[in-house]
Amino acid sequence: MTSPQQAQVLVGLLGAGIGSSHAPLLHQREADRQAIRLLYTIIDSASSRLTADDLPGLLRWARTLGYRGLNVTYPFKQQIVRHLDQLSAEARILGAVNTVVFADGATCGYNTDAVGFARNFERNFRAEPRNAVVQLGAGGAGSAVAHAMLTLGARRLTLVDVDASRAHRLAGLLAGEFGADRIAVGAHADLTRLLAGADGLINTTPVGMAHHPGLPVSHSDLRRDMWVADIVYRPTDTALLQAARATGAVTLHGAGMSVYQAVAAFELFTGAPADAEAMLADSEELLRSGR
């Protein structure tokens, strides 16, 4: 492979409503620190009217233009899987890809969301209880977060998704690896009861994002003796986190997860180790400045 210092590394982000993502600046700043010539582009399906049916053509287009890889976000993380030549072990288990690398004539899919969530959780919530955890969302990001949460020792994880069949599919997959006694599926109608006995709540749905504003649970279901994590980072302080803090609960925003998954993706794209602490500092500065 050509050394990253000798050729420009062209990468991009594919997703819907991603114009405000700071992924390009995170990657480009780290590349600048390492004297890597990197160009990071945005492929916003909302503005370009791309659908899942366009994914095969998009992958061909990116390879033809010389892209080294693509980050993939909502709503394509699961849909892109069947169009790739190879999958990492984690991507195959989760059925979701957030990083595609073009190498040796093949498209290779990886999932760096799970390690991103795990590193962020351990950095900030190492001592928080995790006997009973409720997770909202069982999509592409949700599958990675659920796997990470069980790996981190959650004794009972309950998945709640508007698409019950999707939650049951993910639960079945995770039960095979972690045991059926540690994973369950709940209904939105039962959220009050589920949250009453939960140590923590994780939101992996788009609710709370700039283009999906709102609160995914009732304010009255939040308690001071629970923790609340949101994987949304734009805005960093979502309506859910604000409501949780108002009750006295401890909260965790999604910026750290976005950085740690970007660290892993950067290393896949460039073959160079990334400076996670520097990228965390970059993220904090970018979010403060609104960039």
Q: Which residues are catalytic?
A: 77
- Hey, how many other C-beta atoms are within 10 angstroms of the C-beta on 271? 14
Among candidate residues 73, 74, 21, 17, the one with its CA nearest the CA of residue 46: 17
- The alpha helices in the chain, defined as continuous H runs, are 23-33, 45-48, 55-65, 89-94, 113-125, 140-151, 164-178, 191-196, 239-246, 255-270, 276-289
How many residues are given for the chain?
A: 291
Residue with tokens 């999958």: 87
Residues in CB range of 59: below 8 A, 6 or more apart? 80, 83, 84, 100, 107
Q: Which are the contacts of 180, defined by CB distance < 8 A and separation ≥ 6?
A: none
